[in-house]
């Protein structure tokens, strides 16, 4: 995303000015684009990610917009580090209004028969337990004034089950949907909304956390779409398009929307 785009968001939500957000996986891809989109609305953003120079780079980009950010070196599967990071955001700015539980990995892609239980745990712990921890430790700072929580699931886990070897990933993404719906009902009493976004293929660095094993070939069923599998734009989505959706879900424009999954995939999951 270039500065030009950031300075001129497609939609302005004045109520977001001076809100406080926690974004996990903020150093790259969808998390980065969303952190920048929120900052462009005047939101103060806590950038949580594994120790990575990319997160510092996002902070610099936000500061170049005259917006505020802080970084926290966090593994989202580690309860103490998640709790401390969210506490540091709340201490700096006095509250948390928006949570984007987004950090995730594709992990090891393997047949179920040969998938190592530790690899299964790593994917589930990062994607699903990480979401639980992020939401859990934000609640005390959101209860007073309400807010919006957005969870990044995927079309894998609810509509698409043909990405062979992704049994752990898809299970984690299905679990995130169930968790978010439970949370939406439980947290409605505090005026905290909880929604789930389900992206299709988005152009990010997710391939860096994708580790296919050679024996995947043994379980693949060939699926071919001669006209391509992305009907709307004939290309993967851009992280900035996802950032726009998350900003809408953080804003008052979505004030009656909670417990809902929103697909952002250009109809990819419908074929």
Tell me how far, at minimum, the Cβ of 168 lies from ligand NAD, in Å: 12
Quick one: which segment of 72-80, 113-121, 182-190, 214-222 binds ligand NAD (CB under 6 A)? Answer: 72-80
CA–CA distance, 90 with 46 (Å, rounded to integer): 9
Closest CB 200 distance from ligand NAD, rounded Å: 6
DSSP for the chain, written as a single string: --HHHHHS-SS--GGGTT-EEEEETTTSHHHHHHHHHHHHTT-EEEEEESS-HHHHHHHHHHHTTT--EEEEE--TT-HHHHHHHHHHHHHHHS---EEEE-----EEE--TTT--HHHHHHHHIIIIIHHHHHHHHHHHHHTTT-EEEEEE--SBTTTB--STT-HHHHHHHHHHHHHHHHHHHHHGGGTEEEEEEEE-SB-SSGGGGEEE-GGGGGT------TT-S-TTTSSPBPHHHHHHHHHHHHSGGGTT--S-EEEESTTGGG-
Helix axis angle for 130-142 and 167-187, nearest 10°, is 20
Closest to ligand NAD by CB, 42 or 150: 150
Part of the chain binding ligand NAD (CB under 6 A), chosen from 87-95, 197-205, 214-222, 252-260: 197-205
Please indicate whether residue 169 is annotated as part of the active site. Answer: yes
User: Site residues for ligand NAD, window 90-109 (CB under 6 A)?
Assistant: 102-105
Question: Scanning residues 160 to 179, which ones bind ligand NAD (CB under 6 A)?
Answer: none
Do residues 265 and 158 lie in contact, with contact meaning Cβ atoms separated by under 8 Å? Answer: no
Specify the residue, 42 or 242, whose C-beta has the smaller distance to ligand NAD. Answer: 242
Site for ligand NAD in 111-130 (CB under 6 A): 126, 130
Which is nearer to ligand NAD, 29 or 46 (by Cβ)? Answer: 29
Least distance (Å) between residue 239 CB and ligand NAD: 6
Residues 11-30 close enough to bind ligand NAD by CB under 6 A: 24-25, 27-30
Exactly one of 5, 88, 114, 201 binds ligand NAD (CB under 6 A); that residue is: 201
Identify the residue among 152, 195, 247, 258 touching ligand NAD (CB under 6 A): 152
Comparing CB distances to ligand NAD, the nearer of 205 and 218 is 205
Tell me which of 13, 137, 141, 169 is the catalytic residue: 169
202 near ligand NAD, judged by CB under 6 A? yes
Chain center to CA of 59: 18
Interacting residues with ligand NAD (CB under 6 A): 24-25, 27-31, 49-50, 52, 74-77, 102-105, 126, 130, 152, 154, 199, 201-202, 204-206, 208-209
Catalytic residues: 169
């Amino acid at each position: 995303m270039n500065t030009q785009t950031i300075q001129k968001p497609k939609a302005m939500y004045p109520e977001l000015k001076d809100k406080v957000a926690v974004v996990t996986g903020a150093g790259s891809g969808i998390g980065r684009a969303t952190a920048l989109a929120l900052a462009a609305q005047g939101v103060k953003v806590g950038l949580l990610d594994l120790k990575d120079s990319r997160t510092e780079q996002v902070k610099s980009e936000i500061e170049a917009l005259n917006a505020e950010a802080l970084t926290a070196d966090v593994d989202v599967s580690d309860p103490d580090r998640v709790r401390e990071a969210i506490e540091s955001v709340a201490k700096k700015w006095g509250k948390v209004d928006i949570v984007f539980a987004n950090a995730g990995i594709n992990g090891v892609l393997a047949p179920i028969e040969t998938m190592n239980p530790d690899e299964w745990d790593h994917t589930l712990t990062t994607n699903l337990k990480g979401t639980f921890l992020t939401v859990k430790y934000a609640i005390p700072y959101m209860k007073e004034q309400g807010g919006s929580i957005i969870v990044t699931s995927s079309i894998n886990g609810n509509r698409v089950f043909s990405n062979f070897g992704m049994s752990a990933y898809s299970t984690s993404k299905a679990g995130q949907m169930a968790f978010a719906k439970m949370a939406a009902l439980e947290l409605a009493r505090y005026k905290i909304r909880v929604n789930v976004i389900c992206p299709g293929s988005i152009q990010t660095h997710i391939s860096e956390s994708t580790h296919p094993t050679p024996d995947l070939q043994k379980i693949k069923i060939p699926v071919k779409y001669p006209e391509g599998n992305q009907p709307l734009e004939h290309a993967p989505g851009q992280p900035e398009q996802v950032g726009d959706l998350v900003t809408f879900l953080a804003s008052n424009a979505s004030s009656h929307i909670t417990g809902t999954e929103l697909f952002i995939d250009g109809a990819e999951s419908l074929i």
